[in-house]
Structure 1
């Protein structure tokens, strides 16, 4: 299964916010620069994360982004379910009628594969992903007093 850029950026932004340790909230521009990605696209991703309650956004001077939940409470599988369209094929929808659907083994196999993929992701939280926080800060060149 291939994740969309939107989910990729959501995961990156959550990692960045989890390892950002400054006194000021993190900014979209700073995160985008550190990952060398589009700040406009990252802003849309941040809106999605705010809507789903993963982050909070403060506008104005001194504003920025912060995690809304403890890192141990942010499940990777749950995030992927919220940010991805998980209909791998049109027949995954109840609205599409396929003449072979009652006997289709491929559809069932793909459902099982997708469930296995998501079950593995369910075993991970943001806390697990940032276990090597010091190394991530080093790679993202986050100074000690940001």
Structure 2
């Protein structure tokens, strides 16, 4: 299984945020740290906010904060949220893609089962388990 860069960067951002869960992180700060465009980071942050994993606040003193305690946030939930529009294979998409063997295929059920097992295994760990070390003040 391969995760999208969207999920990869989402996990990295959350790992950083979990290192200082009370702190607000600006988009610019996180974009610079991960060498990512601010626009791409904003899209990831919006998805995390829609999933109620982070809270965002505009303006001075604003930024993004975790909305859930890191020890209460299962990794499978995060990955499922970030990968929600990325089916494992085309035939698992909502419109079933352009599969010419739909209804005869025996692999689809196995792939669904494998994906569910993958997410269950990720749910054995929390964001607290993978948080980055706290950075010392510069």
- Cα distance change, pair 37–104 in 1 and its aligned pair in 2 (3 A): same
Indicate conservation of the 8 Å contact 2:21/2:69, yes or no.
Answer: no
Give the corresponding residue for 1:121: 122
Higher fraction of helix: 1
Aligned residues: 136
Matched, 1:59 2:58: yes
- Cα distance change, pair 94–41 in 1 and its aligned pair in 2 (3 A): closer
Unaligned runs of 5+ in 2: none
Structure 1 stretches of 4+ moved >6 Å: none
Q: Secondary structure at the match of 2:2?
A: coil
Matches within 5 A, 1:2-13: 2-13=2-13
Unaligned runs of 5+ in 1: none
TM-score, scaled relative to structure 1: 0.78
- Over the aligned positions, Cα root-mean-square deviation in angstroms equals 2.4
Give the corresponding residue for 2:71: 72
Q: Secondary structure at the match of 1:56?
A: strand
Answer with 72-81 or 87-96: which moved more.
87-96
Indicate conservation of the 8 Å contact 1:77/1:122, yes or no.
Answer: yes
Larger radius of gyration: 1
